[in-house]
């Protein structure tokens, strides 16, 4: 990928929501194995909120990609 192509792309943020959700789901077992039930429920709810936020962000990113005008190569010869 060239630097001009990299500048035209939008940052991909949705993946970080899903990575964060994975850590939230695993945190109750990995980091807090003796946690009370209410702590596990809060972490699961936070994980689901992160998944929902990631879905919304992913929809925004996909819509932005579809709305972006196609890039043209200035060095290409026009078709006649």
The Cα 44–Cα 22 span in angstroms is: 10
CA distance 47 to 79: 52
- Give the pLDDT confidence of 30-53 residue by residue, as tens digits: 998 999 999 999 999 999 999 999
Greater confidence (78 vs 42) lies with: 42
CA 65 to chain centre: 14
**pTM metric for this prediction:** 0.70
- Per-residue pLDDT, 28: 86
Are residues 19 and 73 in contact, defined by beta-carbon separation less than 8 angstroms?
A: no
Percent of the chain with pLDDT over 90: 60
């Amino acid at each position: 990928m060239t630097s001009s192509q990299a500048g035209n792309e939008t940052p991909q943020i949705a993946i970080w929501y899903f990575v964060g959700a994975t850590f939230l789901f695993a945190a109750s077992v990995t980091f807090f194995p003796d946690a009370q039930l209410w702590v596990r429920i809060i972490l699961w709810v936070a994980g689901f909120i992160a998944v929902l936020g990631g879905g919304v962000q992913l929809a925004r990113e996909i819509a932005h990609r579809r709305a972006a005008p196609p890039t043209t190569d200035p060095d290409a010869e026009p078709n006649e």
